[in-house]
Each structure stands twice: as C-alpha cells, then as structure tokens.
Chain A
C-alpha cells in the first residue's frame, strides 16, 4: 500500500523558513517523480514544485521560484521542500504527491498524502 506521510508544517513569521518532509512507503521511491501541491484555506489546488526520480531535474511555480527548494533522498525514501522568505500568501495545506511516472513532465498524481498545514503570520 502506497503511503505518503508529510511533516514539518506549523506557524512561522513572515520572512521565516520551514522545511517540509514526506516519507514514502509501499513503492520504489526512486522510480517516480514527486511533487508538492498546496491548497490555501477555502481555495483550489496549486502546483508548487516537482522533481524527477533521479533528482536531476527540478521544477518550480513562478510564485515560489527562488524561495523554495525541492529535493529528495532516495536512500531514505524522503521528499523535502525547503521554504525560505515565507509570505502570508504561502499559507496553505501542502500535499506531497506521487507521480504516476518517472519524469515530472507528462505526469500526473496517482497518490496524495494527507497534507501538512503551513501558516505564515505574525
């Protein structure tokens, strides 16, 4: 059974940093692209960042480019999202999501984690 368990969310002040983690199990982690998708309170889904199975290719939404960094440790079956210079508009539930294929492009999500809430507020 595929499981994705996010952690690291919480309350942070504007300008602060957080690191989200997602521990995966139930599949060959390094063989699949992974993604972070967020959802602001009462709003729709927004793609944040993606990474290929080998870690060699990373992708970012314009809204987070230069502030967020996606990475993965295939030996630990773990996906990360380092979030710096956080803003109030980054407040959202952040979902870790498994791609159906190896690459980011031409890919879609076949499994989602339950999400971790990030609140940016003073």
Chain B
C-alpha cells in the first residue's frame, strides 16, 4: 500500500504569510494527487486535483505542485478563512489520505 506523509502536522502563520504544506508518497504516484480543505465542523472540500489543477471556484491564492513522490500545497497570502485542516490524497493505486496538516492563524 502507498503511504502518504504530510508535514508539518500543525502550522501557525500570520495573515498575509505564504504557507507551504508538503506531502510525500512512499512510492511514485505520478501526478495522481488531490488536496482537500476541511474547515472545523464541515465536510472536506476539493482544492486541487492532478497535483496542480485548481478546482473551479477555489481562490487563486491556492496552488499545487510536484510529481512522483513529493508534492506541495501553497497558500500565497494566508487569509482568516483559511483556518482549516488540509489533506492530500493519492489515487494512483487505490486511495490513501495523508494524516492532515492543521493551519492556525497567529
């Protein structure tokens, strides 16, 4: 099974900061990776698919990059509404989610 490891587990940043979350796969997954945002008490929401494609309606401050085994989700200018936990998911071989990265606002 493919394992997905996110870092950091928790991130605290100020409004306006650039934020980067890393997701590493235990073996190559090509670009079969999605990112989701889950706000407190809500269902997850798709942000990015196929590693770098922005889902319709998602603010352009979100971006994804990477291929193979290392991927990043970036928020160019952190906003208060971005308080959430972020998950990566591989869909190259079955499905596996990362353990999540909680983003806090300083």
Contacts and interface: CB of A to CB of B under 8 A. Distances in A.
B98 interface: yes
Nearest to B1: A62
B97 A107 contact: no
Interface residues on A, range: 20 to 34
Interface string B39-61: 00001111001000001000000
Interface residues on B, range: 20 to 34
B49 A108 contact: yes
Contacts of B46: 108-111
A109 B36 contact: yes
A41 to B, nearest CB: 12
A12 interface: no
Interface in B58-106: 85, 87, 89, 91-92, 94-100
A108 B34 CA distance: 7
A49 to B, nearest CB: 10
20 contacts: A44-B87, A44-B98, A44-B99, A45-B89, A47-B94, A47-B95, A47-B97, A62-B1, A100-B49, A105-B91, A106-B92, A108-B34, A108-B89, A109-B89, A110-B46, A110-B49, A112-B44, A112-B45, A114-B43, A115-B43
